[in-house]
A = this chain, B = another copy of it.
Amino acid sequence: MFTTSVAATPVQPSAGRLRPLGLDEVRITGGFWAQRQQTNATATLPHIAHWLEREGWIGNYDLAAAGGLSEGRRGREFSDSEIYKFLEAAAWEHGRRPDPALEAKFREFVTRVAAAQEPDGYLGTAFGRPGQQPRWSDLASGHELYCLGHLFQAAVARERTAPGADDGLLDIARRAADLVCEVFGEGGIESVCGHAEIEVGLAELGRATGEQRYIDQASLFIDRRGHKTLPEPEWGRSYFHDDLPIRDATVLGGHAVLANYLAAGAVDVAVETADDELLTALMVQWDNTVARRTYITGGQGSHFQDEAFGEDWELPPDRAYAETCASIASIMFSWRLLLATGGPRYADLIERTLFNASTIASLASLLATVDDNGLQLHQYATSTITTALPDGTPIGLDVETTYPEEGAVTIRVRETAPRPWTLSLRVPAWANGATLTHQTTAGQQRVSTASGPVAGVTATFAAGDTVTLNLPMTPQFIHAVPRIDAVRGCVAVHRGPVVYCAEQPADNSASLDQLVVDTGVAPSCSDGRLLVEASWRQRTNSPWAYHPAANDEVPSATDPLALIPYHDWGQSGLCTMRVWLPTD
């Protein structure tokens, strides 16, 4: 346990094992993620703002303010949430590196949103105005509370990266949250939103504002869910997690994004209310979901039809829905459990998911935490860290690495105090044979094996000391447990946290569906390329696909085949790809 101080970070629990650091304390300064954050800032966010305008989704607020909404409204019922997601991303980006143009767009959108808020605090462009369905009349599908959850997250991001800004977003959020507490509090509407999100939004807004009743309302929503207060949807109550109470579930199911949002909000409630039973249930759900319902990329949610988790082991790669939103939501869930418990396995999944399934603007806040004993590094990126331990010990670190290109991560102590503390470094589960080297300015060097899941150096550090973690980056074949039917007889290849894939040969000399990989020859790196030995089956043109005789299609002689990181798929144009490579 520790006392919190306000930081520019998405999750600020009042209790838990680890304290998160804010964007003001951790800055990514180079390497893999710096490039992607630059792309996000200069290309992705302006692109999104342009399309929110072009699609009319921000325009809906103007129509609402002008009283002409019901006829002219554009977009789906949840389009408001896209505005708030943009505002949240822009706020975190502001915390990372302020930009006048983005700040101007942020303020413009907030002003337009504000004009549409009704006197009693209601905010939403899809319900409640003349010609529209009444407010709260379609909790199952209407997304009204869902959208507000995203509004609250945007307001929290803004408050934590630009405290005291006079844009009014926090006030908008508070007035909307007050209305939600009034309408859905004790004695109010005894139901929940079909699309979970308000819970995690309310909880963090409560933390950011100190309003206990927002956390209480999140707790009420968590407890109400699973009691069948919503009409049954086409795909069954599990779709929106109204089939059984959260504390009775043993694994995530139903809509994969919403399941993770809900679980994240439930962790917040469990931490704020010291509800160990609920926290334990969520840890079990995380364990089983990761063991049985997660792709090798960290992706979650197999089903296209209902965007849902499938059954245990139902993880078909050729129809993996695995949407990016689910990856982001999964990181939200994992991060909260990491802060609550300190378990490095949560950071392992975050890393896998980051490198293979998603990117986010507030990324730096996932890199490090502190506790009474010292500082924990969970993710490795070239960065600077400037913070303090709870007792006031100042800590300044410079992290240098080309990870995941290479496996060396060097942490140089820039600032500290003459007292011992522990620098803890996560050793990923795949990193068999990692080593740790502590080099002092006095010339002492100590090398130790880093067997994981966490390797620590406890010392009275001096400025100039370095700690180097060496992670083995040998590429490996990976086998799935036999219960995953869809990838039987196949292997995947990873190198460090990065999952690789084979792309369709550009010259179409062979088709990926003829590929066979020789697992007798280990994958290797050569001239920056990752190679496996591959042959290609000759295709026979059978009029029927099922025969008494086993396959007798003759493979060609093997040749080296270059694989590429899965996250780089399609860089040279649309093409077929496979992560799981047949071996027979």
Contact = CB atoms under 8 A, between A and B. Distances in A.
A319 B313 contact: no
Interface stretch (A44-52, A199-207, A303-311, A331-339): A303-311
- Judged by DSSP, the binding face of A is loop
A489 B430 CA distance: 27
A362 to B, nearest CB: 26
Interface stretch (A32-40, A104-112, A179-187, A290-298): A290-298
Contacts of A488: 488-490, 582, 584
B492 A546 contact: yes
Given A314-B319, A319-B319, A489-B488, A549 B482 contact: no
A227 interface: no
Contact of A316 (B316, B345, B482, B544): B316
Q: Considering residues A313, A315, A479, A490, which has the most beta carbons from chain B within 10 angstroms of its beta carbon? A: A479
A553 B482 contact: yes
B319 A545 contact: no
Given A482-B537, A482-B551, A551-B479, A287 B489 contact: no
A131 interface: no
A545 B481 contact: yes
- Tell which of A303, A429, A483, A513 has the most Cβ of chain B within 10 Å: A483
A476 interface: yes
A539 B312 CA distance: 13
Given A291-B543, A292-B545, A304-B303, A316 B486 contact: yes
A449 B485 CA distance: 41
A479 B548 contact: yes
A548 B477 contact: yes
A484 interface: yes
Contacts of A303: 304, 319
A481 B538 CA distance: 12
A296 B481 contact: no
Interface in A552-584: 553, 580, 582, 584
Contact of A546 (B296, B314, B551, B582): B296
Interface in A474-511: 476-490, 492
A160 to B, nearest CB: 33
Number of copies: 2
A287 B584 CA distance: 27
A400 B549 CA distance: 32
A315 B545 CA distance: 11
A547 interface: yes
B546 A480 contact: yes
Nearest to A550: B479
A488 B313 CA distance: 16
B479 A542 contact: no
Nearest to A429: B544
Contact of A485 (B314, B318, B481, B544): B318
A547 B477 CA distance: 8
A542 B291 contact: yes
A45 B489 CA distance: 46
A310 B319 contact: yes
Contacts of A549: 479
A314 B492 CA distance: 19
Nearest to A477: B548
A482 B514 CA distance: 8
Contacts of A537: 482
Given A303-B319, A478-B547, 7 more contacts: A296-B545, A318-B485, A432-B548, A478-B548, A485-B486, A485-B513, A486-B486
Interface of A: 287, 290-292, 294, 296, 302-305, 310-319, 345, 429-430, 432, 476-490, 492, 513-514, 537, 539-551, 553, 580, 582, 584
Closest 7 CB pairs of A and B: A489-B489, A304-B305, A488-B489, A483-B513, A479-B550, A305-B305, A481-B545
24 contacts: A291-B542, A291-B544, A303-B304, A304-B305, A305-B305, A310-B318, A310-B319, A312-B513, A314-B319, A316-B318, A318-B486, A476-B548, A478-B547, A479-B548, A479-B549, A479-B551, A480-B545, A481-B546, A482-B553, A483-B513, A483-B514, A483-B545, A484-B545, A486-B486
